[in-house]
Amino acid sequence: MLQTVGEWIWWDRLWLPGNLSWSALEDKEGRVYAKVSHLYASLPCALCLLVVRYLFERYFATPLANFWGIRDKIRLPAEQNPILEKYFCSQTRVPSQADVWSLCKKTGWPERRVQVWFRRRRNQERPGLRKRFSEASWRCAFYLFAFFGGILALYDKPWVYNLREVWAGFPKQSLLPSQYWYYMLEMGFYLSLVFSLTFDVKRKDFKEQVVHHMATLTLLSFSWISNFVRIGTLVMVVHDSSDILLEGAKVFNYATWQQTSNGMFVVFAVVFMVTRLIVFPFWLIHCTWVYPLELYPAFFGYYFFNVMLLVLQLLHLYWAALILRMVYKFIFTQYIFATLTLQLHCYSGPIS
């Protein structure tokens, strides 16, 4: 039965165009093709990146935080109370008003004291500033390395400048060593992010991040198996370009380099809008949606790959809305501050 299921899952007509079979992608005559077995290398790569991350955060990010004077805020610990601690761990971190009254009866504490206890207890669970700084530093360093590594791997490739070349000879396109290492590095990184979800800082868009990581890993795995490697490398470079700026803005924000952080965030917002809302849908998705049909009739793998790209695009739209809202607040706040400063200056003129 398992053999039958496996044969159905790997049925040639599902993943390959036309009448091609997997035998057409066997290594011969000096040509090497991407294989499923190659993906196993992403696991040790992810584990190695976790070790590199640990060393980076301990021996680079932490000393850098010390140099910039980044300190965790001093938080008052919650009082020892087994009843409230049990409720906090097993029920909810944010009790309703009725729950607070019930806990007041059980503990003999006044309402205000119970509310303060829960606030302090929640604060104990929140990650410190130094941890946020270390994580942002690591992601910024990786995206910077991956982006320039991708540029070096792609700058002389014809399909970068003519997207029709992405499908030239598809799927019989030889695998280049630079493509192999670029893919394994990116897959290992996103796999390491999945492994570290439990102890990383949980952000407001945690669920969206999980969807993004899983969609990215699915896309990378499928594009590798079906030899959509050329378009896969382009997608990775486009995504890494703006991620560097976002993580860099966070790093400088934690270091209280506010002007640098604000400027970098504005540049990030522009790059994000251009790459994720223009280049990605109107160049890359257009490339995967239109050009293959000029060579082959549509097949399941074609639809699957494009649907996963659309999932990423929906996430881009969600994040773009958040970014625009942040930019609006930033500009509006700056405008109000500048207006008040001007009014105060004009008002103080006659007095002085």
Strand partners, 31: 28
Taking the C-alpha atoms of residue 8 and residue 62, their distance in angstroms, rounded to an integer, is 51
Entry pTM: 0.81
Domains of the chain by start residue, with CATH: 31-65+128-341 (no CATH), 82-125 (1.10.10.60)
pLDDT along the chain (352 residues), means of 10: 54 73 75 86 94 95 92 80 85 85 88 87 80 93 95 92 90 89 94 86 74 84 89 93 93 90 90 95 94 88 89 90 83 56 43 36
Kindly tell me the burial class for residue 160, based on how many C-beta atoms sit within 10 Å of its own C-beta (0-12, 13-18, 19 or more): middle
Would you state the pLDDT for residue 76? 76
Taking the C-alpha atoms of residue 57 and residue 62, their distance in angstroms, rounded to an integer, is 6
Identify the DSSP state of 340: H
Taking the C-alpha atoms of residue 78 and residue 116, their distance in angstroms, rounded to an integer, is 8
Location of structure tokens 């070790």: 51
Phi-psi region of 118 (alpha: psi -120 to 50; beta: other; left: phi over 0): alpha
Strand partners, 28: 31
* Closest to 143 measured CA to CA, from 267, 241, 233, 53: 241
Location of structure tokens 């009448």: 19
Q: Which long-range contacts does 175-178 make (Cβ < 8 Å, 24+ apart)?
A: 175/32, 175/33, 175/34, 175/227, 175/229, 178/152, 178/153
SS3 call for 28: strand
Would you state the pLDDT for residue 55? 96
146: which residues sit within 8 A by CB, 6+ positions away?
182, 185, 186, 189, 236, 240
Would you state the pLDDT for residue 252? 93
Would you state the pLDDT for residue 152? 93
Would you state the pLDDT for residue 9? 59
